[in-house]
A = this chain, B = another copy of it.
Amino acid sequence: MLAEFSVVPIGAGESVSAYVSECIRIVEASGLEYRLNPMGTVIEGDFDEVMAVISTCHKRVTDMCDRVLTTIRIDDRKGVVSAIASKIESVETKMGKKVKK
């Protein structure tokens, strides 16, 4: 299963990179496969382990500030593994060329 998430503090200043760094440390400690993009972090794993990591990230940022907006989008497809790489490869195969990623 793939999930993309972002955890953004409201009212704690405009810069959010300190909070993203905290979350990436938690994601890396989980051992789950992940990719950081400019709008969020995509992780792959079983539903329960992915949600546990995102919950830890959300709680860590709520410890640091008073209001937090967390967005999660889940793509859960039966029988698919390594989707973090294969979804992009599937698009490249259809297009017959490499894309920017």
Residues on A close to B: CB < 8 A?
2-4, 6, 8-18, 20-21, 24-25, 28, 33-40, 42, 47-48, 51, 55, 58-59, 62, 66-79, 83-85, 87-88, 90-91, 93-95, 99-101
Contact = CB atoms under 8 A, between A and B. Distances in A.
Instruction: Count this chain's copies in the assembly.
Output: 4
Which secondary structure dominates where chain A touches chain B?
mixed
Contact of A88 (B38, B66, B93): B38
A98 to B, nearest CB: 10
Contact of A69 (B25, B58, B73, B78): B73
A32 to B, nearest CB: 11
A48 B52 CA distance: 10
